[in-house]
Structure 1
Amino acid sequence: MKSFIFLFVVVLLSGCVSGLGASSDDWHQIGYQDGARGFNPRSYSQLGHINASEQTEYDEGYNEGIKYYCNPDYAYQIGLSGQDYLGVCDGMKQGQRFRMEWQRGWNAYQSSAM
């Protein structure tokens, strides 16, 4: 029984370790997901010291994701859902409109929570 538990733990841990490495396509997708969720970009140390081409893939994906996220037509719904806004759209062309719509949704979320 002990050997079965040990084997199970080893298999489980090896799956976790193999999930840490990512191909360039994965870094693009990770960046896109971070941007599309409105997260701040991950730092170099958070990315696990990836190489320059992987960093470029992450950055390109992140920029695509931020363009998707920062659509002011959806900002009200983001605020209404209770999602915090981290300021990632502030420097963009529609950034001010995004923040205003998000704030309007956030205010509605806050008043419904009371």
Structure 2
Amino acid sequence: MKGFKLVLLSVIPFLFACASGDEALAEKGDWEGIGYADGVKGRTQRSYSTLNELGAANMGAYEQGYSKGVAEFCNPNFAYQMGLSGVYYEGVCEGTKDGQKFRMEWQRGWNESNQLGY
């Protein structure tokens, strides 16, 4: 349980990174970092035109980072706590190896959160 809390606490800062962080990463040309940040937050993948609003986007690097981030986000061992904490799930884990288990655990936490009035 202690390890779970430690991992959860290390992920939380990524969940709340602001848009200015995206702008700073784009200025450095870190499109993989932008993709990773989106994926680890469970956001749906951005389009090329949306990324180009930040600068000359490198879609390949973005997609590579996004895949890494989604792989971390879709860990079913943390899905229940995410749902319980009110983290909205946009369906990014569908089609992954543990996608169904993730969704079921997230839904269980989400339902419990709503019943408890969090």
Q: Give the TM-score category using the shorter length.
A: 0.7 to 0.9
* CA distance in structure 2 between the aligned counterparts of 1:31 and 1:41, rounded to whole angstroms: 8
Structure 1 spans left out of the alignment, 5+ residues: 1-17
TM norm structure 1: 0.75
Report how many residues are paired: 94
TM norm structure 2: 0.73
Q: Which residue of 2 aligns with 1:22?
A: 27
SS in 1 for 2:50: coil
Structure 2 spans left out of the alignment, 5+ residues: 1-22
How large is the RMSD of aligned CA atoms in angstroms? 1.9
Identity of aligned residues (%): 49
Q: Which residue of 1 aligns with 2:68?
A: 64
1:94 and 2:98 aligned: yes
Distance 1:20-1:97 versus aligned 2 partners, 3 A rule? closer
Shift of 1:84: 1.0
Return structure 1 stretches of 4+ with deviation > 2 angstroms. Answer: 18-24
Structure with bigger gyration radius: 1
* CA distance in structure 1 between the aligned counterparts of 2:81 and 2:33, rounded to whole angstroms: 24
Residue identity in the other structure for 1:41:
Q
Distance 1:66-1:97 versus aligned 2 partners, 3 A rule? same
Residue identity in the other structure for 2:69:
G
Distance 1:63-1:104 versus aligned 2 partners, 3 A rule? same
For residue 31 of structure 1, the aligned residue among 5, 22, 35 is: 35
